[in-house]
Structure 1
Amino acid sequence: MRPRLKNWFKELLLDIYQVTSTLFKIMIPTLLVVKLLEEMGGVELIAWVLGPVMAFVGLPESMGLVWATTLLTNIYTGMIIFFNVAQSESLTVAQVTVVGTMMLVAHTLPIEARIAQKAGVRLGVTLLIRLSSALLLGFMLHHLYAWGGWLQQPNQLLWSPSVIDSSLQAWLVSQVQSLGMILLIISLLLTTLKLLRLLHIERLLHWLLQPVLRLLGIGPTATTITIVGFTLGLAFGGGLLIKEAKAGHVPYRDVFSAMTLLALCHSVIEDTLLILLLGADISGILWMRLLFGFLVVALVSRLMNRSSEQFHRRYLVREPEAAKP
């Protein structure tokens, strides 16, 4: 009994090390590059490009800065920029729902697109799916709300940021704290997953969710990983997926379908609550986003079934980077 328990903990520690080291190798260099781009005015440049595009989804040009910040950094930073910009704009609840939905679909792209690439999805494909989906869903919501005359009342902010320390030291402390939290969550997550597997509860989850995931083209080997990413975030689900793809446990079709779903719908609890604080309506940031994401993944999975493996290998997927010698 004791040797078996010792091996169990040894395997757990090895899994924690593999997943966190893979994520940190992606995140730390990317965070440094993004910070450098911020200091060099990269956010303002992207905002300048996105400004005219905002009219396509019924938003003022100033929202381009909000989305650009979110694309390059994260939702938290985007919320702070939104608060500052919204003071000089008269936004409706519909407009805030549109920009909030776009922030949820496409954010933290330098890190999250790189995680998808490590798992085996081509970088250009990930960027295309997330950016085009954000714009298309924003366009649909804008015209839907305008057509029905819904959510046209003035928006009311439910949150205001505290004073932010913008010094380099504060940024470094914040990043170290975030990485430490990721290590803690992954440790708890992998321990829980191992216990669920030991108690055969994981099989029950597979059995309960498999009909839905089968419709989306996601096989049983990616079920648990998809659930993790869907509820906790792409970094956690993607980190586990990289590990499983490296070991050859998940077929590349399931990798692509799972990462497509997680690209459009991940961390649905925490991220949705954050955008609600801006005054957005749940109809767009949750229900329409989920419906849109499920339809896109189901469509993508069926297109993959009708196209050749040669096409997949050339344009959509690649061998997971971690699996290369």
Structure 2
Amino acid sequence: MDFIAYLKDSFTGSLNSILNMAIIIIPLMIIMEILKDLNILEIISKRLKPISNFFNISNDSVFPLLIGLIFGLAYGAGIIIESAEEKDLSKKDLYVLIIFLVACHAIFEDTLIFATVGANLWLLFITRLTVATITAYFASKVIEKILDNKERTDA
């Protein structure tokens, strides 16, 4: 295969990937806007208050956490970025959100993919969720102490 053909294949493959992501991300963002306008996000946030209390993060950061958990980082990135900008999420909220999602993004899709090649579905699912929860919980405590110490030294 010559260099021009390789570039052409790379370009068309990249373009197809971008279009496929747009097909998923744009409707997700539209749905999020509709849910926000109908105040359904507020209702969801109130029901998810135990999660935000557990991680000691704002209620506004729980919805992007769930989107990343379900759809993954690539597809959930638009929602995460939009929520961070619109809701003015704190640095702590963003750190805990990202730390959780590093270990446990796209939990259904990834777990099913690994299960098709022989991994134990439930063991993988529970392990990923447990590791993400424990790591994010302790990270929220450490970040809180760091920010408290910084506030005391800045004052």
By the TM > 0.5 criterion, same fold? yes
* CA shift in 2, pair 1:305/1:208, >3 Å: same
Report the Cα distance in structure 2 between the residues aligned to 1:287 and 1:171, rounded to whole angstroms: 37
TM-score, length basis structure 1: 0.41
RMSD value over aligned CA atoms? 2.2
Q: Which has the higher contact order (CA 8 A, sep 6+)?
A: 1
Distance across 2 between alignment mates of 1:194 and 1:184: 16
Give unmatched runs, 5+ long, in structure 2.
1-5
Distance (whole Å) between structure 2 residues aligned to residue 294 and residue 259 of structure 1: 12
Computing the radius of gyration from Cα coordinates, the structure with the larger value is 1
Find the counterpart in structure 2 of residue 266 from structure 1. 105
Matched, 1:203 2:54: no
- Tell me the SS of whatever aligns to 1:272: helix
- Paired residue for 2:70? 231
Q: 1:285 maps to which residue?
A: 124
Q: Is the 8 A contact 1:217 1:297 kept in 2?
A: no
Task: Summarize deviations over 1:159-210 as a string: whole Å, max 9, x none.
Answer: xxxxxxxx55444322211100111212100111111122222122111212
Q: Which runs of 5+ in 1 are unaligned?
A: 1-166, 313-325
Separation in 2 of the partners of 1:248 and 1:201? 16
What is the CA–CA distance in structure 1 between the aligned matches of 2:116 and 2:8, rounded to whole Å? 28
Q: Kindly state the Cα deviation for residue 240 of structure 1 after the two structures are TM-superposed.
A: 2.8
**Structure 1 stretches of at least 4 aligned residues deviating more than 4 Å after TM superposition:** 309-312
> 1:276 aligns to what?
115
| Aligned mates of 2:122, 2:87 — CA distance in 1 | 39
Residue 318 of structure 1: aligned partner: none
Q: Is the 8 A contact 2:25 2:75 kept in 1?
A: yes
Alignment of 1:1-325 (within 5 A): 168-247=7-86, 249-308=88-147
Aligned residues: 146
How many Å apart are 1:311 and its aligned residue?
5.8
Q: Judge conservation of contact 2:25–2:78 (CA < 8 Å) in 1.
A: no
TM-score by length of 2: 0.82
Give the equivalent residue in structure 2 for 1:5.
none
In percent, how many aligned pairs have the same letter? 22
Change beyond 3 A, Cα 1:249–1:292:
same
How far residue 259 of structure 1 moved from its aligned partner, in angstroms, is: 0.8
**Pairwise CA distance, 1:309:** 5.4
